[in-house]
Amino acid sequence: MNKFRIFIATTTFFALALVLFGINHISNAKPASIVDKQFEIVDKQSEKIEPVLVKSEKLCGTDHDPVKIAEAEEDFKTRKANARTQAEVNGLEAASATSATGGVINVYFHVVYSGTKGNISDAMIADQMTILNQAFATWGYSFNRISTDRTNNTTWYNGCYGSAERKMKSALHQGTADDLNIYTCNPSNGILGYATFPSSYTRSPSLDGVVLLDQSLPGGTAAPYNEGDTGTHEVGHWMGLYHTFQGGCTGSGDYVSDTPFEASAAYGCPQGRDTCTTTGFDPIENFMDYTDNSCMFQFTGGQDERMDSQFTTYRLGK
């Protein structure tokens, strides 16, 4: 009888343990629909897991790694100091002759497509150029399309944000540091576009330029990001601007004094949004936020000064 009781107690214990394990396993498991919407980028060397990006979000893929930005800003500071010293030697007249305060930027437009997908019309390209010229005109910059080429390559079309970027750009890139190369294709994982910063040119000149989701151009299907200001946003990066929410509410932010601090990216058009309460309302109308194209319409004077200085330092005549 005692052996029977011991057997029953042991069986009951294991049964309860299995039930509790099953409940805990179910409670910790994510539904497949959520898992399918996420991806992680793993740095195998450091085994560091980067923040998860949700595919349904429309994101800018420009590299805003804080360490790289800090290094770039230190280099920028040093180069500006050296330029000031040289200006004192050569005289102010010579210095002003080699400083950008606007000008005409030549554009090489590269349409990468796959069969019937992505071979956007000349009208869409022309409309995109019009949007860029309208956005930057106040600050003295204009964009002159020199040429348009078209490449039917499925691998490049679908891999332009990732494995195929280097081959695509190495084959198509034209011009020098002060010429703008724009590529349209189909970036993955909800990416609307991405760009290289001016400080990156010396290290990788063939990678320099702006990449855009083809359907973000005016008349495309990527609503509410299909009025051409994804292009404006990415060219802003190419000219040296960061996101308005760079760094959140502390530190140097986007390194521009007249854009209020912003804790995180804004979506839609949230009037009156104020995530950093000591600096004024969030700059949701700024081209360097994440709001709908219809919401954004401006750069600031401080951003113009930074674009001039970045272009002079890293692009003009390079």
**CATH 3.40.390.10: which residues of the chain?**
103-240
CB 106 within 8 A of CB 146: yes
Q: For residue range 107-119, what is the model confidence (pLDDT) as tens digits? A: 999 999 999 999 9
Is the domain defined by 103-240 classed in CATH 3.40.50.2300? no
pLDDT score of 309 more than 60:
yes
Q: Which of 47, 234, 262, 285 is catalytic?
A: 234
Q: For residue range 47-69, what is the model confidence (pLDDT) as tens digits? A: 322 223 332 355 899 988 888 89
Classify burial at 139, counting beta carbons within 10 Å of its beta carbon; exposed 0-12, middle 13-18, buried 19 or more: middle
197-215 per-residue burial string, b: 16 or more CB within 10 A, e: under 16: bbbbbeeeeebbbbbbbbb
Q: For residue range 90-104, what is the model confidence (pLDDT) as tens digits? A: 765 555 546 888 999
Q: For residue range 130-161, what is the model confidence (pLDDT) as tens digits? A: 999 999 999 999 999 999 999 999 999 999 99
Tokens of residue 238, six digits = 């190419």
Q: For residue range 184-223, what is the model confidence (pLDDT) as tens digits? A: 999 988 899 999 999 999 999 999 999 999 999 999 999 9
What pairs with residue 103 in β-bridges?
Answer: 141
Q: Tokens 């990449």 identify what position?
A: 211
Is 305 a catalytic site residue? Answer: no
